[in-house]
Structure 1
């Protein structure tokens, strides 16, 4: 069995990563509106990240996409802040250090792009994810920044880069 590899998303990954994200959101009973589930970009992730200061990585193991995450400018926000976006992993990817490794890739890219801070939104019951974010240096903030359209995500966190 090969070790999982983290690589840039390719057009051929669109269907698999969309299925991964929807599967994880369904597993956690995340609302289908006001969250990433409803994002139009879910079915065209490769195309969505073909823009300046935007990147999306996938985790591949034995030819199968088992997770992903990306960074891009925070929508509708006037400032040098990016957002950690669509970081989701199938159960077989969890508890193996893949999330921490993916976080390193994303934070490094955010720094390379010259962002000052990295922001994220999540659900209150995604406690394992929040633990990972805290270990990576994210801190809770009381309200949302920008307008991601994810009004059903009540937990907001930020990290200085």
Structure 2
């Protein structure tokens, strides 16, 4: 089976389901229990997804063997900087190379926008994500914002 990565509207059925699965996993890990449907719905309400469309950003869906299995978002923060967000690979396909291909696809889109640096924040418990970022050239940097109460690590990569 192979991976394909394509930009897709953030509200397409596959993209919406991946965003929901992403939020379910990060919320469940944070709370140490399965997130409820109401908690997931609340988390997705006014989550800024409207910025994941041109000209303010982009959303990528990764398919493994044709099935939607991964996603990542890019939000332009200024003319040369963007933020990587909502990076998710379904657990059953982790370890198949999709995470690196997903980052590569987002970085390519960022270059098309003229971005020179991609930044992101993440949490202590998202160990797989931190490992993925480090493996693909993202370096840990000092906090570049304090708007996200859950952020515990900040990364950046020069393109």
Distance 1:18 1:41 in 2: 13
Q: Secondary structure at the match of 1:121?
A: strand
Match runs of 1:79-98 below 5 Å: 80-98=80-98
Classify 1:100/1:62 alpha carbon distance in 2 versus 1 (closer, same or farther; 3 Å).
closer
Q: Which of 150, 153, 157 does residue 151 from structure 2 map onto?
A: 153
Match runs of 1:5-154 below 5 Å: 5-10=4-9, 11-29=12-30, 38-40=43-45, 45=49, 48-61=51-64, 64-74=67-77, 80-145=80-145, 149-154=147-152
TM-score of the superposition, structure 2-length normalised? 0.78
Deviates most, 131-140 or 62-71:
62-71
Which gives a bigger RCO, structure 1 or 2 (Cα 8 Å, sep 6+)?
1
CA RMSD, aligned part only?
2.7
CA offsets, 1:116-146, max 9 Å, x none? 210001111222211211121111112133x
For residue 22 of structure 1, report the CA deviation from its aligned partner. Answer: 2.2
Question: How many equivalent residue pairs?
Answer: 149
Classify 1:24/1:17 alpha carbon distance in 2 versus 1 (closer, same or farther; 3 Å).
same
> Is the 8 Å Cα contact of residues 117 and 158 (structure 2) preserved in structure 1?
yes
For residue 61 of structure 1, report the CA deviation from its aligned partner. Answer: 3.8
Distance 1:39 1:12 in 2: 15
Distance 1:112 1:141 in 2: 24
> Is the 8 Å Cα contact of residues 121 and 155 (structure 1) preserved in structure 2?
yes
For residue 48 of structure 1, report the CA deviation from its aligned partner. Answer: 4.1
- Structure 2: gaps (5+ residues): 36-41
Distance 1:107 1:154 in 2: 23
